[in-house]
Chains A and B, each alone.
Chain A
Amino acid sequence: MFLARIDGTITSTRKHASLDGARLLIGQRLEADGSDSGEPLVILDTFGAAHGTTVLVTTDGDTLRATRGNNVAARMSVLGLVHSVQRGER
């Protein structure tokens, strides 16, 4: 699991049927100090995460298999909306 900041959304008409109706967010994985890590990610969301907020993301596909079926063509989903993060001194 990791934290990601929501930077946008993506729309697609031509997609795998398992993603029909899915809310697709663009998230930025965050390092321990809150800086950006790696490339932008497309993440499925059922919590209504708002732009600029931080979410907890899992890469385990079980969550999506349970809700969208064994054929689901995705693995990253929002597990929760982050209220606050306490960071240690560096």
Chain B
Amino acid sequence: MRIGVVQGRVVLGAATPELAGTVLLIVEPVTSENLREGTKKGGGKALVVADQLGANLGQLVAFVEGREAANPYWPQDVPVDAYCSLIVNNVEYHPPQ
């Protein structure tokens, strides 16, 4: 999983039926520099993440990517490749200087 900041929400018009009712977040991945500074800035390339936890704008989340992002929908098949796994409460982050 990577860590990201929720920067927005997407609402679809016409869409593939498997995505009906799926909340879609715009998430900006957090770089190590921004995670260290704790300023809730992202810095990475934004992506769209499916969410069932109710993450709010500005919150820090962790998201799983790839085929495993559809695991939570099992046994249903959905074409989701990024899924919000958790909303972050606290980060202890001390990389070497």
Contacts and interface: CB of A to CB of B under 8 A. Distances in A.
Interface of A: 5, 7-16, 18-19, 24, 26, 28, 36, 39-43, 51-52, 59, 61, 64-65, 70-76
Interface of B is mostly: mixed
A49 to B, nearest CB: 14
B57 interface: no
B30 A16 contact: no
Contacts, number: 120
Interface string B68-80: 1101111100000
A7 B86 contact: no
B68 A61 contact: yes
Contacts of B85: 15-16, 19, 42, 73-74
B27 to A, nearest CB: 12
B92 interface: yes
A74 B1 CA distance: 7
Interface of B: 1-3, 29-32, 35, 44, 52-54, 62, 64-69, 71-75, 83, 85-96
A75 B82 CA distance: 11
A74 B93 CA distance: 20
Nearest to B95: A7
A8 B67 contact: no
Contacts of B31: 39-40
Given A28-B95, A39-B30, A13 B66 contact: no
A9 B92 contact: yes
